[in-house]
Amino acid sequence: MKAAIVSLTIRWRNPSALPGFGLSLGLTLFYLSAIVLIPLAALVIKPWSLGFDGFWHVLSNPRVLAALRMSFGGAAIAAAINSVFGAIAAWVLVRYSFPGKRFLDALVDLPFALPTAVAGIALSALYSTNGWLGGPLSQLGIKVSYTPLGVIVALTFIGMPFVVRTLEPVLAELNRDAEEVAATLGATRLQTIFRVVLPMLLPSLVTGATLAFARAVGEYGSVIFIAGNLPGISEIAPLLIVIKLEQFDYAGAAAIGVIMLAAAFALILALNLLQNWAAAHR
């Protein structure tokens, strides 16, 4: 009994290093539950009103499978493109000074600020057969608007800032001593970039590409105007969800949403585990 009283006295005199932790944790859990967990739980539960056979019938529909391939495949290609050109853009903005740098830096955030529908209309007009870019490309036999290529262009546009803004602070704080040592030992600039700089940037590059991919998978507004929305060709999964909602097929729409949620979460989890493994074995 005496020991218990002493223990309580010590705890009372030595409060937690994080005052208010209990209340803060409770508010955090409530906020996450209300904003994230409960809506996701409702999304997961809704399709099972169809039963397993009905759920499988929706997902095995050729139109649904084609839309999922378009969304995930286009997002993966766009993320790969942004990984290359976004890294180059971040490198230029951090390592070089030139006239118009602030203007170019502001343009990077344009996909964040621009409404997605406006971006879709602008891209559709720009890449149409009589547009500024679409006209010359069509003469070369390359059609962008109303094709799967248009979907990739739109997804690349909205995903680019994620890679650039993720890499910029890392590049700014990157120690250049290793680059100077590599140059002193006779390494070419290209060898220095691929063998010294890129390994140090790889975790941030993977993070930026993952964010760009996750953003692109669920993109809707900027895609529907340039995609053409041809079933089985250029139709994306978010558009198919909207179509089912307009048909009052809520369970069918939720079924597609569950598959997109599960696939996106699995891919992001795998990339995060890969990044942690690479950091641990560096």
Nearest C-alpha neighbor of 164 from the set 197, 208, 211, 213: 208
Which residue carries 């040592």 as its tokens?
A: 181
How many C-beta atoms surround the C-beta of residue 64 within 10 A? Answer: 21
Structure tokens at 192: 């220095």
pTM of the complete model? 0.83
Output the 3-class SS for 158-183: HHHHHHHHHHHHHHHHCCCHHHHHHH
Task: Provide the residue-wise pLDDT of the chain in tens; the chain has 282 residues.
Answer: 555 444 545 454 555 555 667 778 788 888 888 888 888 887 888 888 788 888 888 888 999 999 999 999 999 999 999 999 999 999 999 988 889 888 988 889 888 888 888 888 889 889 988 888 888 888 888 888 888 999 999 999 999 999 999 999 988 888 777 777 777 878 788 888 888 888 888 888 988 898 899 889 988 888 988 888 888 888 999 999 999 888 888 888 898 988 888 887 887 787 778 777 766 766
Burial class (CB in 10 A: 0-12, 13-18, 19+), 127: buried
Q: List domains and CATH numbers for the chain.
A: 50-280 (1.10.3720.10)
